[in-house]
A and B are shown apart, each in its own frame.
Chain A
């Protein structure tokens, strides 16, 4: 059977998710003066999280295509 683009990471509905480094995490939390736990969440069982092999406690940076701003960044904390 021919395999098309099977990976869900390539799906048009799925924005780019990227695990961010410790340094960027600190910068992010300092900018908004918040704790990690105050960020929006994403589950470990999320197919995209499985796809990029993120761990619990990681923060993923999501590059969304916005209707108004064209490109927008969003952050989620990986939880159980």
Chain B
């Protein structure tokens, strides 16, 4: 069924390209059965597109001359071949483009050659892929900038990039130096800029200090006076009643009065001078709207024309149930948060994506397979482990290997104290004792009978 759809699509596209509108293209789309096409249809085709084009179309439909390759043949044969998914797709598009010059024999020959090359390119068993991955990332790493920050779009959101970001990822830090979320929006929020902006204010943290024009304590009547910036309130969609409610949460028995000129008078019965100053400070630090830790949330348009939010600061769990957030497409660059919320497999995906993006941003072309290997190694045990001595390297079974890596004395001493045995299975251990390493040709043993 899928095959038929592909061919139909191809024919329809070709027709549109030739300038055939509606009618006949629709007809072919609906009625397409290569063998079942009638002579009348051919005539109709000729009338509409002219003889020369009609011939082309008929050939495309798979009724060409003897020995010519049909679209269907390409699909079936490529699918049957021993190639990987992505190569198959690429091969199909390329073959389709040249199919007029193809013959059955040529197609078979091309596939055979492709399979050969594919087999050659496969990694041999016992190849030291880890070393290759390490060097493939290490060398380009020397070309990376040591300290760069970058804007996400124009919105003045800083994101750590370059080498510091790579180090952060492989060290499996609990919190990145610049956590950030990309929040996709659902339904009308994605289409309406104002709705998106309103949601952004729900997420961006707002303290009283951000919306006050003045906050002062008066010792005369022992109360705190707050004047608010009307413009800010409007911009952040905050109602005065909401602020009053929030102010009451600051302490027990807090009373709020709104004066005629809009000033707020806040006081607590029988308050000492010390308490008054503390009240002023607490008020200024009171969160009135948004999520704590999200310093900014800006609205951007993505490639599909949908509005979305970029945030400085990350709190996946808190935006999870917010109206207007499409949580199924929302991500963060904080990998430990990803593990908690989406699990280890998602974390692996984010490690790969973040590393690849960072490398690409620096103009470095590293094969995804090297990065994938690192991500796999880091997530092997069900939790995200760092690469260094506290993680992967430190978790090695071999004491000699650990000692060769870092903190030699501690490792040797510990191994001696606990009476560890070294099975000499790894590379480093065998180099130390002067034996062939069990990699490549060293992995094979001869048995005489």
Question: How many A-B contacts are there with CB distance less than 8 Å?
Answer: 97
What residues of A have a CB within 8 angstroms of the CB of B321 in the complex? 1, 3, 6
When distances are taken between beta carbons in the complex, the residues of chain B under 8 Å from A69 are: 84-86
Tell me how many residues of A have a C-beta within 8 Å of chain B: 32
Contact digits for B70-111, partner A, Cβ 8 Å, 1 yes 0 no: 000000000000001110010000000000000000000000
CB atoms of B328 and A5 under 8 A apart: yes
Find out whether the CB atom of B372 lies under 8 angstroms from the CB atom of A67.
yes
Q: Is the CB of B372 within 8 A of A4?
A: no
Minimum C-beta distance from A13 to chain B (A): 4
CA distance A11 to B182 in the complex (A): 14
Instruction: Judge whether A42 and B346 touch: CB under 8 Å.
Output: no
Inter-subunit contact B341/A8 (CB<8 Å): yes
Residue of A at shortest CB range from B376? A40
A5 to B328, CA, bound (A): 6
**Nearest CB of chain B from residue A64's CB, rounded to whole Å:** 7
Give the complex CA separation of A3 and B186 in angstroms.
Answer: 10
Report A-chain residues with C-beta under 8 Å of the C-beta of B327: 4-6, 11
Give chain B residues whose Cβ lies under 8 Å from the Cβ of A49: 343
Known contacts A11-B327, A13-B331, A76-B382: A46-B343 contact under CB 8 Å: yes
A50-80 to B contact mask, C-beta < 8 Å, 1/0: 0000000000001010111111000010010
Instruction: Report chain B residues within 8 Å CB of A36.
Output: none
Contact flag A41-B89 (CB < 8 Å), given A11-B328, A12-B328, A67-B372: no
Taken residue by residue from 330 to 354, chain B's Cβ proximity to chain A (1 for < 8 Å, 0 otherwise) reads as 0100000010111111100110100
Secondary structure call for the B interface? helix
A33 within 8 A of B: no
Question: Using an 8 Å CB-CB cutoff, how does the interface string of B365-409 with A read, 1 for contact, 0 for none?
Answer: 000110010001001111100000000000000000000000000
- Minimum CB–CB distance from A50 to chain B (whole Å) comes to 9
The contact of B338 among A3, A6, A13, A64, by CB within 8 Å, is A13
Query: What is the distance, in angstroms, from B225's C-beta to the closest C-beta of chain A?
Result: 36
With contact pairs A70-B85, A76-B382 given, residues A15 and B340 touching in the complex (Cβ less than 8 Å): no
Q: Which residues of B contact A5 (CB under 8 A)?
A: 326-328
**Distance in angstroms between the alpha carbons of A12 and B345 in the assembled complex:** 11
- Cβ–Cβ contact B320 & A2, under 8 A: no
Q: How far is the CA of A3 from the CA of B338 in the complex (A)?
A: 21
Q: Please list the residues of chain A having a beta carbon within 8 angstroms of any beta carbon in chain B.
A: 1-6, 8, 10-15, 17, 40-43, 46-49, 62, 64, 66-71, 76, 79
B contacts, CB < 8 Å to A: 84-86, 89, 186-187, 320-329, 331, 338, 340-346, 349-350, 352, 368-369, 372, 376, 379-383
Given A1-B321, A13-B331, list of 18 further CB < 8 A pairs? A1-B323, A2-B187, A2-B324, A4-B327, A4-B328, A5-B327, A12-B328, A12-B329, A13-B342, A14-B345, A40-B379, A40-B381, A41-B381, A42-B343, A48-B342, A66-B85, A69-B86, A79-B382
15 examples of A-B residue contacts, CB within 8 angstroms: A2-B187, A4-B327, A8-B343, A11-B327, A13-B338, A15-B345, A40-B381, A40-B382, A41-B380, A46-B382, A48-B346, A68-B368, A69-B86, A70-B89, A76-B344
A-B complex: 7 closest residue pairs judged by Cβ atoms: A70-B85, A13-B346, A48-B343, A41-B382, A5-B328, A43-B382, A46-B343
